[in-house]
Structure 1
Amino acid sequence: MSRPAGNIQLKSARVAAGYPSQQALADALGVGVRQVRRWESEAPPWPQPEVGQALSRLLGQDLEALGFISPTGVTPGRGRRSALATVAAAVGLAAVPTQAAAVLQPASVVADFEAVTRSYRRLYWSVAPAALHPSAMAHAALGLVLLSETAGQTRRGVAAALAETYLLVGRIEFFDLREPDHATQTLLRALQAAGEADDPLLGAAALAHTAFIPAWGGRRDEAIERMVAARTYARRGSASAELLAWLDAVEAECETRCASPALLRPVLPAAPPRPTAAAPRPLPAHPARPDTQEAGRRPRP
């Protein structure tokens, strides 16, 4: 006799959201593993209201889509609107998707999307910024699609890689293409994606990058305000000595730029020179997630 399949909808959503075992999901929800086993049985009991809402948010689908049959015919509300999404809407940004699609991507999509993100960061060493920019933007657009098709840990992993992609695009727009207005919008999107990833170190990196823009315009108070916010984010995570040193370097550069309006260089930085074998253009990676020896460096104006 074949073994009962159980609640396939819930099991599939659990694995797709990055929880490979029932115990992993139980830990994320703060319930016992026996409860998760009951939910994945042939006749899953309807969860208690608070737990059911948490389960729906975590896996990105309503309870009925997860294989539960409502005893009342009422399905709890889905989704959430984060504070960062509210801020993004206030400044005219398209909010990062918060709803999962009916069909979720597998957990492996995180590694695939991250791999492409790392490739774009490596390409910055050698590819002309104007040529790299549209492709990197297209990669970010793909990330937004994936956010709507993932949930749980998988979604947070995609959001983190999306934040790194926006950081790369924002750096190109400011340091290379000399488009500060576009860079501001892109870096705010990086901050929003970092919030969706629940990654305060990525948030600190995004905020510190935004400080360059007012500093190059001589607006010291605005630049320092953003650096204070960046340090606040850094304190929320386990900031490495490298990240803290990088924040010090960014703040020092901002102070130098704003020391005296008469001594300021042009508001916009000159495009960095083309890389050579002796002096390659620094990789625009931030030190929140260093993956090269140049992780803490930035293009010199």
Structure 2
Amino acid sequence: MAGTTLGKLASLRCAAGYTQVTFVAAFAREAARLRIDASVSVRQLRRWESESPPPLPHPSQQAVLEAMFGLPLAEMGFDVPSHRYSTVERIGDDGEVKRRSFVTGPGAIAAAAVLPSGQGPRVGASEVAAFRARLADLYTVDHRSGGIPAKARATQLEQEITRVLNSSVYMSRVGRDLHTMLCELACHRAWFGYDGGPPEQARAACMEAMTAAQLIDEPLLQVRALNTLSLLSADTGRMWEAASAVENAYSLARRAGAGATVHLVISLREASAATHAGDSASAGRALSRAVSYQGRTDTDTDVPRWARFAGPVEVDYATAAYYTGKGQLTRAVPFLRSAVVGLGGGYTRNTAWYRARLAQTLFDTNEVEEACHEMMGVLDACNGVSSEKLRRRLHTFERIAVRADVPAARDTVERIRETTRGGDR
């Protein structure tokens, strides 16, 4: 008989952010990921949520449901017979930590959870979703405010997730999600360190991210860490390491079946490494690959969040760097202009980066008045952006502009000093 209140399963589904239709699709994806032959229809889900007692899922469906919600089936509102109950067994002699195995049938382990000292709050899909939302927000903080404030938030979130892992009860899917988020946070810290420093911490975070990605078997997160390592290595003169990071990133991306957007990011890192090394021929080939990949990004169906920034703007910026490296500054200028214009709203930090590079290049081509105008635009827009890389670009412009005996340059130098006087930006 249909119930009149929201049942346990429906409450869990809503807390995890699913409609009935999206839940059915997520169920299919999870079953495929677990390599379990199981499916559910919207009609069957409605019966599970509305009938009392609800029909008992098949064992294969049970395994997928437990993996999705991080709970034994009996805690989802189903009347589960004893032989289908999740059971507990001690594995090893690990003192304070006990490992719990949920068994759906003879010898069939559906999931595992950690129970420190036999106590602790249970963590499931809703808590994972809340952590995931905060993780996603780091991209917005980074784009708008820079790597320094984003790094502080990432550190806080990392500490909270680590505390949950050490003191809570969770099933294997939840544990894997939490470990994956820790890996993503290490990738974030590496990138934020590239922006905000210090480089030694950024490099350590890269290594941490690569190790974690290997342990949880997430090759695309390894690719992400390698991309950042390539940038860090090129900046610090480790050219062989920058090139090796790119080569390994390509290999992992191919094995993972990554799409054109991920390969576009790698080719941009390849172009950057070659440009830093003064190898214009290799940089040109990498840019040709980037243009080819960029033309195919519209065929991608599942682009990782960290790669979604890549597109024509980044290709233009890399092309400008290529011409700058060859000493052809006038050819770099239109590509820098295109990159600045092409960045959409929300990319405050990157817009400041790119526009500061445009200002410096204009100055180097003796377009002093226009260069100072561009730099004034950077200073108008960068209030609230905390980025060590941007601060260095401001001071680089200050050092070259102070030699120009024109009013615009003097005004710009004074404005840079006012802007940076209160501390690093």
Q: TM-score, normalised by structure 1?
A: 0.59
2:225 aligned with 1:206: yes
Deviation at residue 187 of structure 1 after TM alignment: 3.2
User: If each structure's strand is expressed as a fraction of its own residues, which one has the higher value?
Assistant: 2
SS of structure 1 residue aligned to 2:144: helix
Measure, in 1, the Cα distance between the counterparts of 2:137 and 2:158: 13
Partner residue of 1:4? 3
Deviation at residue 149 of structure 1 after TM alignment: 9.6
Measure, in 2, the Cα distance between the counterparts of 1:37 and 1:72: 25
Partner residue of 1:14? 13
SS of structure 2 residue aligned to 1:14: helix
User: If each structure's helix is expressed as a fraction of its own residues, which one has the higher value?
Assistant: 2
Q: TM-score, normalised by structure 2?
A: 0.44
| Code of the aligned partner of 2:52 | E
In the alignment, structure 2 segments of 5+ residues that lack a partner are 29-38, 87-103, 114-120, 280-304, 311-345, 355-386, 393-425
SS of structure 2 residue aligned to 1:65: helix
Aligned with 1:236 (options 249, 255, 258): 258
Structure 1 residues 288 and 102, CA, compared in 2 at 3 Å: closer, same or farther? closer
Aligned with 1:32 (options 26, 32, 41): 41
Partner residue of 1:187? 209
Structure 1 residues 72 and 245, CA, compared in 2 at 3 Å: closer, same or farther? closer
SS of structure 2 residue aligned to 1:79: strand
Aligned with 1:55 (options 65, 69, 72): 65
Partner residue of 1:66? 76
Partner residue of 1:222? 244
Q: Deviations over 1:149-204 (max 9, x none)?
A: 999xx9999999876654331123356202155222343378479977xx95x664
Measure, in 1, the Cα distance between the counterparts of 2:24 and 2:226: 34
1:228-267 matches, within 5 Å, as 228-229=250-251, 231-232=253-254, 235-237=257-259, 239-240=260-261, 244-256=263-275
Q: Is the radius of gyration larger for structure 1 or structure 2?
A: 2
Measure, in 2, the Cα distance between the counterparts of 1:213 and 1:183: 11
Measure, in 2, the Cα distance between the counterparts of 1:192 and 1:121: 28
Measure, in 2, the Cα distance between the counterparts of 1:4 and 1:115: 38
Percent of aligned pairs with the same amino acid? 21
Structure 1 residues 234 and 102, CA, compared in 2 at 3 Å: closer, same or farther? closer
Asked if structure 2 preserves the Cα contact closer than 8 Å seen for 1:52 and 1:63, the reply is: yes
SS of structure 1 residue aligned to 2:74: coil
1:77-96 matches, within 5 Å, as 77-79=109-111
| Code of the aligned partner of 1:288 | R
Asked if structure 1 preserves the Cα contact closer than 8 Å seen for 2:226 and 2:249, the reply is: yes
Count of residues in Structure 1 that have an aligned counterpart in Structure 2: 247
Deviation at residue 31 of structure 1 after TM alignment: 1.8
Structure 1 residues 257 and 190, CA, compared in 2 at 3 Å: closer, same or farther? farther
Q: Deviations over 1:233-288 (max 9, x none)?
A: 78424x34xx544322211333455679xxxxxxxxxxxxxxxxxxxxxxxx9543
How big is the alpha-carbon RMSD for the aligned residues of Structure 1 and Structure 2?
Answer: 4.9
Partner residue of 1:278? none
Partner residue of 1:292? 347
Deviation at residue 63 of structure 1 after TM alignment: 0.7
Measure, in 2, the Cα distance between the counterparts of 1:103 and 1:231: 29
Partner residue of 2:334? none
Asked if structure 1 preserves the Cα contact closer than 8 Å seen for 2:246 and 2:270, the reply is: yes
Partner residue of 1:124? 146
Structure 1 residues 117 and 172, CA, compared in 2 at 3 Å: closer, same or farther? closer
Measure, in 1, the Cα distance between the counterparts of 2:112 and 2:23: 20
In the alignment, structure 1 segments of 5+ residues that lack a partner are 82-98, 261-284
2:172 aligned with 1:173: no
